[in-house]
Amino acid sequence: MNLLKFKNRPKPVPPLLIEGEEVSFRIKHVANAKRMKLRISASREVVLVLPKSVSVKKGLVFLEQEKPWITEQISKIQSPIAFENGAIIPLQGENYQICHVPDRRGLVWVEGGKLLVAGKTEHVPRRVYDWILREGKSVISEKALTFAEEIQVEVKKIALKDQKSRWGSCSPRGNLNFSWRLLLMPETILDYVVAHEVAHLRHMNHSADFWALVQKMHPEMETSKSWLKQNGVLFHKYGATY
Ligand SMILES: [Zn+2]
């Protein structure tokens, strides 16, 4: 028996049953986590993130309390929607149908409530994804610069990524990262996430001062936060990974 391999194996955790069905589940201890957190991936895997000082036992009690929320979130994860001809995707909260137009010139554009895509069939998903990245970057950059001016901070770099576990992040150097999926959400939600990350350029923490600043920059902060908690997971079904 390979002892070393055995030693490195993560500790077994009890199976997680949601409405009688076993759901993929793991526990992750994170040194700099401040509090217990639950994450649900697009593949319906539940991850319980625990600060180093919190025991698995305590974590499982928290998990038990959060079961109604997990159940609700899991039920929302439907089959993935690829960026293919005929698919309906939201853009800033409004639905658009992807319409492949091989005979038209151009790349991707919005026309009559549709998202038109020229070129070969096999290029449609990639073109739509690239278009969302470009559009998202321009929309988010404009908003970030406006917020930055409002609170007198400097944004260094803005990048859009396929972030799985968070909608935005801010590095100590002043670089802001955002999930491209934000472009799919209603504008007020996008505004909240941008305001949140820009506010971190002033307060690199989640202190009372930080939240007061975000609230001032985006008065619908609380409703946006709970909207994200309730609906955010729905957006992971869009687009395959490229
Ligand atoms: Zn934050």
Beta strands in the chain (DSSP E): 16-18, 21-23, 25-30, 37-40, 46-51, 88-91, 94-100, 108-111, 114-117, 157-161, 168-170, 175-179
Residue predicted with more confidence, 241 or 120: 120
**Residue holding tokens 């396929």?**
162
pLDDT at 22: 81
- Tens-place pLDDT, residues 2-55: 444 444 455 567 788 877 778 889 999 998 888 999 988 877 789 999 999 999
Instruction: Using the predicted structure, report yes or no on whether residue 176 has a pLDDT greater than 90.
Output: yes
CA of 111 to the centre of ligand 1 (A): 36
Could you tell me which of 81, 84, 27, 85 has the C-alpha nearest to residue 59? 27
Instruction: Using the predicted structure, report yes or no on whether residue 238 has a pLDDT greater than 70.
Output: yes
CA of 196 to the centre of ligand 1 (A): 6
Q: Where are the domains of the chain?
A: 9-76, 129-237
- CATH topology for 129-237? Zincin-like (3.30.2010)
CA of 195 to the centre of ligand 1 (A): 10
What global pTM score does this model have?
A: 0.74
Question: What is the distance between the alpha carbons of residues 146 and 179, in angstroms, rounded to a whole number?
Answer: 19
Using CA atoms, how far residue 72 sits from 32, 39, 96, in Å, is: 28, 13, 26
Query: Is the sign of the CA dihedral 111, 112, 117, 118 positive or negative?
Result: negative
CA of 168 to the centre of ligand 1 (A): 8
pLDDT at 78: 64
